[in-house]
Structure 1
Amino acid sequence: MSTALLQIREVSKTFHSDGGDTVALDQIGLAVNTGEIVSIIGPSGCGKSTLLKIVAGLDIDIEGDVLLEGEPITRPSREKGFIFQEHRLFPWLNVERNIAGNLSLRDPAVRRQVDDLITLVKLQGFEKTYPKQLSGGMAQRVAIARALLRNPKVLLLDEPFGALDAFTRSHMQEALLDIWRENRTTMLFVTHDIDEAVFLSHRIVVLDSRPGRIKSIITNDLTLPRKRTSTAFQELRTVVLRTLEHTEPEKESWEI
């Protein structure tokens, strides 16, 4: 993983209001390599989601630069898939039509891609099912498949499993790694869950708070698949937790 696909260069973000200016991010510098999963973790309000929106091109009022394959990011595009905490499926469309979006399933190429993605996210048999009939985890699988249909160069995930119960979340983490093994999709993943960051990531970026700065970048060399009960996993988890415990504010709560 030596090729830097995504480059975040000295990015700062300030929000302006009548009450004064708030610096959300300060001099963030990060390179994300092709095929890498990088998690971002830090206290609430440290700018994790703001950074993800900047990378997505949803917020370009910044200082610094964000480059994808050497080209500045100035707007949203199909090259950047975005997965939110809520699935945001269209309730009037079934699974296969939600995945296809504005593309026609009558197109043999689209039909083939949608069928392949339904298999990839393990939703065979639910093609005609509507969102209200799906569990939370299944709905997020549809959202991930919809983003992957556009063949994004980077997949941006903003706490996509945060609203799920512990069992479903664990299952979805396994599913995300299955997708990564199949496609080697580059991912930038925001989470509050320490175990999730250790389980999924090649590197873990710890942000400090107010303003958001990179406090530490922790490399995860644990072999996939990872066992949460292993000594090595628990040792790395402890390293991340200790790093987080020294961020501000001091009494932040973490999912451990």
Structure 2
Amino acid sequence: MKQGEFVAIIGPSGCGKSTLLKIIAGLDTEYQGSVLLNEQPITRPSIEKGFIFQEHRLFPWLTVEKNIAADLSLRKPEVRKNVDEVIELVKLTGFEKAYPKQLSGGMSQRVAIARALMRRPQVLLLDEPFGALDAFTRKHMQETLLDIWSKNKMSMVLVTHDIDEAIFLADRVVVMGAKPGIVKQLIPIHLSHPRTPTDTSFHDYRRRILNALNDHEEVVELSYSI
């Protein structure tokens, strides 16, 4: 991946999408080959890589700002400053003192995103972060993520089952196949933002990805590094 690139990974259940994210994150080390960040092998989790799960995984006994700070003290000026900045970035200003039970699903996921951004990672890994949200909230969160990406230009790797989501967000879509888990196609998305799912060009990409998922495209061998 190029620095600041947004890549989406799509494929059938069980093909290894989430496993690939865990390998990039340094959470899974039982594999052959190599994964590099800044030309250095990834062997363990680090602050250079932020991870966002499908569930927000917030601590119910902590407020929004304390969930974002996690193990860092809000009494430190630099921590307080960073927390305030990411709260504004994810549009949660005014909810700093709220608890998770007082938040909607979309707002809870905003907190999870803010927590991942807190340490300024070089790569943000997203494992179907909007899969449990309703269609309206999901669309709003996709736009929020694009806004964050455009302002920070960090590299992002998104796992999704939603073809439209992949086309709407990504610079490139990685299409995977199962049994065995393989990369079948890399599809660059040459559309400017904002993207409209009803456009003919958007529909053309949707058809191409569907064809790749349905074995109408050739398998490719890749050397894939970040």
TM-score, normalised via structure 2 length: 0.94
Unmatched 5+ stretches in structure 1: 1-31, 248-256
* Greater fraction of residues in strand: 1
- Report the CA distance between 1:210 and its aligned residue: 1.0
Residues in 2 aligned to 1:234 and 1:175: alpha-carbon distance in whole angstroms: 23
| SS of aligned partner of 1:82 | strand
- Asked if 1:88 corresponds to 2:57, the answer is yes
Q: Which letter maps to 1:106?
A: R
- Give the superposition deviation at 1:246: 2.0
SS in 2 for 1:43: coil
Matched, 1:184 2:153: yes
SS of 1:33's equivalent? Answer: coil
Is 1:157 aligned to 2:121, yes or no?
A: no
Distance 2:2 2:110 in 1: 24
In the alignment, the residues of structure 2 paired with residue 111 and residue 225 of structure 1 have an alpha-carbon distance, to the nearest angstrom, of 33
Distance 1:235 1:109 in 2: 47
Corresponding position of 1:227: 196
Shift of 1:109: 1.1
CA distance in 1, matches of 2:131, 2:157: 15
Pick from 4, 8, 19 the counterpart of residue 50 of structure 1.
Answer: 19
Give 1:229 deviation, angstroms.
Answer: 1.4
Identity among equivalent pairs (%): 66
One-letter code aligned to 2:7: V
2:7 paired residue number: 38
> What's the CA shift for 1:149?
0.6
Three-state SS of the structure 2 residue aligned to 1:217 is: strand
Matched, 1:166 2:119: no
Deviations 1:5-31 (A, max 9, x none): xxxxxxxxxxxxxxxxxxxxxxxxxxx
Shift of 1:160: 0.4
> Which residue is 1:116 aligned to?
85
- Amino acid aligned to 2:98: T
In 1, distance between residues paired with 2:198 and 2:80?
Answer: 41
Q: 5+ residue gaps in structure 2?
A: 217-226
Q: How many residues align?
A: 216
TM-score, L = length of structure 1: 0.83
2:29 alignment partner in structure 1? 60
Matched residue, 2:68: 99
Runs ≥4 residues deviating over 3 A:
none
**In structure 1, distance between residues paired with 2:210 and 2:135:** 19
